């Protein structure tokens, strides 16, 4: 089990899931990137189902996505979504602890789960003939989870140790947490997915069961099956397993505070003796693929690629190759989110270069983006790389399942996923320049320094 933090670097997310396919599986055709023919339908109990055919091998990836993540954690219970993900492996009335995992292993399959800000997902990869078995197990733990204090308390200790190992002993993780908390002053994206240590310590059986009963329902879930299957077979198996789960009637409401428009730049630093490599990080508050207007999401995706997508990118070329003041530099954009999200720029100084000097150079370089970085050749090169990633991901069964599941879980549509390559190709230089000028501004930013602590005098 692991926390899934970063955006899927290929097909990007959608906007409003439609129940138009209740009667028949709705085929959406092949994507512009040459992907498979995707079908979708909805069971009578509200469970949305997506089928992504891939007949190259008799294998399937079975994923169940829930429309809840750490940003839906109740106030004072940070980490409960991730904690419940752990507890979902603790058995049901029908299947004792370990039975599900033992079955997957015995069938030669693989399994895992992950929690993000906006969704939680569980998946198995098995031979095609065992798909129904996976559905039976997963449908059972959608409503049949049994939790006793004897298993809850030890698993909470596991999560606490996970936080100690991943955050408390890692200065870069501490900087990332501090920067997120500063960027999102009101929205729960500023709270770590794993939760704050003192709040994890207070999580208990009642918290987990309340959260489970609220979100783990068929109408709040998306089943994605990718592999050597047909829509008719998936429908029949899903009806006989998931279709027996009683719905609650309405999808749970997600209650989230809205992040106010930022007015002031923020700065922070983490110093630690364990730091070997100083780092400059910058976050900007930016719209996501759900909150963006006028195609800003696609412009920001392409802008991140132009600025920081590898050794031919603008930041790398200017700071590393031409000026020699950095050993690495880049940018990324987490567009797959329900609410406003983050655009990041980072750089690692060369030997003898201070972070202050590096930051001045980064700022000078960013100011020149509209005039210098957005020439036709660089833009077309970035488009080619992004679309190529889509094609490569379309060649992976598990990646396809993940792309469609994450997209639908935040409210995008299959059609938007299919259209993504064309939308990227359609981004113009003017849109890129406008996105840079609108969102890469000091008032929207948090700048972080990671430095090695000086020895005490």
Burial class of residue 396 in the structure, from the number of CB atoms within 10 Å of its CB (0-12 exposed, 13-18 middle, 19+ buried): middle
For the chain, state the CA radius of gyration. 23
State the pLDDT at residue 27: 43
Dump pLDDT digits (tens) for 244-255.
999 998 999 998
The answer on pLDDT for 45 being more than 80 is: yes
Tell me the three state secondary structure of residue 269: strand
Q: Tell me what pLDDT residue 26 has.
A: 46
Structure confidence at residue 34 (pLDDT)? 53
Whether 303 and 333 have beta carbons less than 8 Å apart is answered as yes
Using pLDDT thresholds of 50, 70 and 90, give the confidence band for residue 450: very high
Told to judge if 425 belongs to the known catalytic residues of this protein, a careful annotator would answer no
pLDDT at 1 over 50: no
Nearest partner of 180 among 196, 168, 169, 166, judged by Cα: 196
Question: Given pLDDT bands bounded at 50, 70 and 90, which one contains residue 278?
Answer: very high
Report the alpha-carbon distance of residue 135 to residue 236 in Å, rounded.
Answer: 11
Q: What is the dihedral of CA 186, 189, 190, 191, to 10 degrees?
A: 110
pLDDT at 176 over 70: yes
CB contact at 8 A, 325 and 280 = no
Percent of the residues in the chain that have a pLDDT greater than 90, as a whole number: 86
Kindly indicate the confidence band of residue 455, based on its pLDDT and cuts at 50, 70 and 90. low
C-alpha–C-alpha distance, residues 24 and 235, integer Å = 10
| Among 85, 138, 177, 305, the one annotated catalytic | 85
Q: Find the helix packing angle between 376-394 and 429-439, rounded to 10°.
A: 90
Please give the average per-residue pLDDT across 274-280, as a whole number: 96
In whole angstroms, give the CA distance from residue 117 to residue 189.
7
If phi > 0 it is left, if psi is from -120 to 50 it is alpha, else beta; for residue 76 that is: left
pLDDT of 3 above 50: no
Instruction: Give the CA-trace dihedral at 404, 409, 415, 420, to 10 degrees.
Output: -70
pTM for this entry: 0.91
Report d(CA 309, CA 317) in Å as an integer: 11
Q: From CA 133, how far away is CA 139, in angstroms rounded?
A: 10
Kindly report, residue by residue over 216-242, the tens digit of the pLDDT. Answer: 999 999 999 999 999 999 999 999 999
pLDDT at 194 over 60: yes
DSSP letters spanning 331-364: EEE----SS-EEEEEEEEEPTT--HHHHHHHHHH
Number of other residues whose CB lies within 10 A of the CB of residue 385: 16
pLDDT of residue 19: 29
The Cα 455–Cα 242 span in angstroms is 60
Is 147 within 8 Å of 208 (Cβ atoms)? Answer: yes
pLDDT (tens digit, 9 = 90+) per residue, 309-359?
A: 999 999 999 999 999 999 999 999 999 999 999 999 999 999 999 999 999
């Amino acid at each position: 089990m692991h926390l899934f933090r970063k955006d899927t670097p290929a097909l990007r997310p959608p906007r409003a899931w439609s129940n138009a396919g209740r009667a028949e599986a709705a085929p959406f055709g092949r994507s512009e990137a040459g992907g498979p023919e995707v079908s979708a339908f909805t069971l009578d109990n509200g469970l949305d189902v997506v089928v992504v055919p891939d007949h190259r091998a008799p294998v399937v990836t079975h994923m169940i996505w829930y429309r809840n993540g750490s940003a839906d954690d109740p106030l004072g219970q940070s980490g409960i979504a991730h904690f419940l993900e752990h507890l979902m492996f603790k058995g049901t009335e029908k299947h004792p602890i370990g039975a599900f995992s033992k079955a997957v292993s015995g069938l030669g399959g693989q399994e895992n789960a992950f929690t993000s800000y906006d969704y939680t997902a569980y998946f198995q990869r098995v031979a095609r003939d065992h798909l129904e078995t996976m559905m039976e197990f997963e449908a059972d733990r959608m409503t049949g989870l049994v939790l006793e204090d004897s298993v809850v308390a030890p698993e909470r200790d596991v999560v606490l140790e996970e936080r100690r190992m991943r955050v408390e002993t890692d200065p870069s993780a501490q900087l990332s947490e501090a920067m997120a908390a500063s960027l999102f002053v009101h929205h729960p994206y500023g709270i770590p997915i794993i939760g704050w240590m003192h709040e994890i310590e207070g999580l208990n059986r009642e918290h987990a069961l309340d959260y489970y009963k609220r979100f783990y329902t068929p109408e709040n879930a998306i089943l994605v099956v990718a592999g050597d299957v047909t829509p008719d077979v998936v429908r029949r198996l899903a009806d006989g397993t998931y279709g027996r789960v009683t719905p609650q009637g309405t999808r749970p409401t997600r209650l989230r505070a809205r992040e106010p428009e930022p007015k002031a730049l923020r700065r922070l630093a983490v110093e630690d003796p364990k730091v070997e490599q100083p780092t400059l990080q910058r976050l900007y508050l930016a719209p996501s693929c759900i909150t963006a207007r006028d195609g800003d999401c696609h412009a920001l995706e392409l802008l991140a690629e132009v600025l920081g997508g590898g050794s031919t990118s603008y930041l790398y070329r200017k700071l590393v190759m031409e000026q020699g003041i950095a050993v690495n530099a880049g940018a990324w954009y987490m567009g797959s989110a329900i609410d406003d999200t983050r655009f990041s720029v980072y750089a690692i100084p060369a030997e003898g270069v201070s972070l202050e000097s590096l930051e001045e150079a980064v700022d000078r370089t960013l100011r020149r983006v509209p005039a210098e970085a957005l020439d036709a050749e660089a833009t077309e090169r970035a488009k080619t790389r992004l679309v190529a990633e889509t094609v490569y991901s379309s060649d992976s069964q598990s990646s396809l399942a993940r792309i469609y599941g994450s997209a639908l879980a935040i409210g995008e549509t299959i059609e938007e996923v299919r259209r993504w390559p064309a939308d990227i190709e359609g981004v113009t230089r003017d849109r890129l320049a406008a996105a840079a000028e609108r969102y890469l501004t000091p008032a929207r930013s948090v700048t972080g320094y990671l430095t090695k602590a000086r020895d005490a005098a």
